[in-house]
Amino acid sequence: MKPLQSAKIACLLCLAVQQAFTGGAQPVTRIASGYGHSLFLKSDGSLWAMGYNSNGQLGDGTYNNTNRPEQIVAGNVTAIAAGAIHTLFLTSDGGLWGMGNNQYGELGDGTYNLHTNLPEQILSGNVTAIAAGSDSVAKSPGQHAGHSLFLKSGGSLWAMGYDYFGQLGDGAYSTNAPYGTNLPEQIVASNVTAIAAGNWHSLFLKSDGSLWAMGNNQYGQLGDGSYNNTNSPEQIVAGNVTAIAAGYYHSLFLKSDGSLWAMGNNQYGQLGDGSYNNTNSPEQIVAGNVTAITAGGGHSLFLKRDGSLWGMGENDVGQLGDGTSVNTNRPVQIVGGNVTAIAAGNGHSLFLKSDGSLWAMGWNSFGQLGDGTYNIGTNLPEQIVAGPPGYNQIAVRLLSSGNVSLSFVGIAGTDYALDRTFSLSPADWLPVATNPAGPGGVLVFTNTPDPATNNFWRIRSVP
- The percentage of residues in the chain with a pLDDT greater than 90, rounded to a whole number, is 73
Nearest to residue 42, comparing CAs of 389, 437, 417, 387?
387
With a cut of 90, say whether residue 98 has pLDDT above it. yes
With a cut of 50, say whether residue 347 has pLDDT above it. yes
460 vs 4, which has greater pLDDT?
460
Beta strand pairing status for 404-409 and 15-16?
A: parallel
Query: What CATH number has the domain spanning 28-385?
Result: 2.130.10.30
With a cut of 50, say whether residue 4 has pLDDT above it. no
Nearest to residue 341, comparing CAs of 36, 43, 35?
43
Helices (H), 140-226: none
User: Per residue in 427-462, pLDDT tens?
Assistant: 788 887 777 776 556 666 655 555 566 677 777 777
End-to-end CA distance of the chain: 9
With a cut of 50, say whether residue 9 has pLDDT above it. no
Instruction: Work out the pLDDT band at 22, boundaries 50, 70, 90.
Output: very low
CA-to-CA distance for 429 and 71, rounded, in angstroms? 40
Contact 31, 38 (CB under 8 A): yes
The alpha carbon of 18 is separated from its chain's Cα centroid by a whole number of angstroms, namely: 32
pTM of this prediction? 0.84
Residue 334's Cβ-count burial label (10 Å; 0-12, 13-18, 19+) is buried
8 vs 129, which has greater pLDDT?
129
What are the extents of the domains in the chain? 4-23+390-461, 28-385
Q: Which regions of 287-429 does DSSP assign to beta strands (E)?
A: 290-295, 299-304, 309-313, 328-335, 339-344, 348-353, 358-363, 377-385, 394-398, 404-409, 415-421
Contacts of 327 (CB under 8 A, 6+ apart): 268, 269, 313, 314, 315, 316
Nearest to residue 409, comparing CAs of 7, 18, 15?
18
Question: Omega into 3 within 30° of 0, i.e. cis?
Answer: no
DSSP 427: B
Contact 354, 1 (CB under 8 A): yes
Q: What is the mean pLDDT of residues 363-372?
A: 97
